[in-house]
Amino acid sequence: MNMEGKRIHTESFKVHTYEVDPHNILTIDSLCQFIQEAASNHADTLGFGVNYLLRNNRTWVLSRLSVKIDRKITLGDIIHLKTWPSGSEKFFFTRDFIIESNTGDELGRGASYWLFIDTEKRRPVPPSRGEIVFDFKELPSGIDKPLEKLPQIDKISSPELSFTVRYGDLDLNNHVNNIAYIRWALEGIDPEFRKLHYASSIDINFIAEAVYGEIVSLSTNAVSGKAFLHYLFRGETEICRLRTRWKEQRPS
């Protein structure tokens, strides 16, 4: 099918009280929720959104995500998120985005890899199949690709935290929503550190799924003073790998 509609989609979001940290800064998980919402809405206007997926036994699965923030976004701010399908790499469809302030200043950038899944066969439908066709010419780039495959954990130690998948953690595919993984991962960082810092970037590799009632365990390794690797497991199966980088919180 050929995509129709605007090649670059712009969606505006106002930062609410339930989307900020104690310093009134937009949390990285809330920002990723905006990104996911804008991507879904754009897919819908292009003709391959939820209705198309349900009719054709297809679904989109986010595989990798990279987000970098240059300037803090705070309570009450209105941001404009521009997003577009940017191409393909092997089995992945790529989607990029730029975050701008209400005055047009750039606040951050990002990119993502998506798998287009046949839900009956439970296998990816590669871009080379030609089921989705799009003109990617002359579109900008959010972040240089390929997106990085994060390093494996050196040694699986006793996890510091574990979480039970709740019904409220599930998405329309009946699997844990992408945002839940981010929120779990952030719990592995010392609250005293978080009082003085805010997340300025996040890189995520989604590896496997988790479903209702399962136990998800978390291990966190400090890479440097202001960077962490987070590993989420279901039993001995790794399901998500994340890296966060942080900046010192300074008074505005």
pLDDT tens digits for range 94-138? 999 999 999 999 999 999 999 999 988 889 998 878 887 776 666
159 vs 213 pLDDT, higher one: 213
Which residue among 92, 123, 144 closes a domain?
144
DSSP string, the chain: -B--S-SSEEEEEEPPGGGB-TTSBBPHHHHHHHHHHHHHHHHHHHT-SHHHHHHTTEEEEEEEEEEEESS--BTT-EEEEEEEEEEEETTEEEEEEEEE-TTS-EEEEEEEEEEEEETTTTEE--GGG-SSB---TT---SS-SSPPPPPPPS-----SEEEEPPGGGB-TTSSB-HHHHHHHHHTTS-HHHHTTEEEEEEEEEE-S---TT-EEEEEEEEEETTEEEEEEEETTEEEEEEEEEEEE----
Domain with residue 172: its CATH number is 3.10.129.10
What pLDDT does residue 237 have?
94
Give the structural domain span for 162: 148-252
What pLDDT does residue 88 have?
86
Task: Please count the structural domains in the chain.
Answer: 2
Distance CA 56, CA 53 (A): 5
Give yes or no: residues 22 and 49 share one domain: yes
Give yes or no: residues 104 and 160 share one domain: no
What pLDDT does residue 48 have?
85
Which residue among 101, 126, 144 closes a domain?
144
Structure confidence by residue, pLDDT tens digits, 143-175: 877 898 999 987 665 568 999 999 999 998 899
Give yes or no: residues 126 and 85 share one domain: yes
Q: Which of 45-49, 91-95, 204-208 has the highest mean pLDDT?
A: 204-208
What pLDDT does residue 1 have?
45
Mean pLDDT of 183-203: 95
| pLDDT above 80 for 193 | yes
Give yes or no: residues 95 and 211 share one domain: no
Give yes or no: residues 31 and 59 share one domain: yes
Give yes or no: residues 157 and 185 share one domain: yes
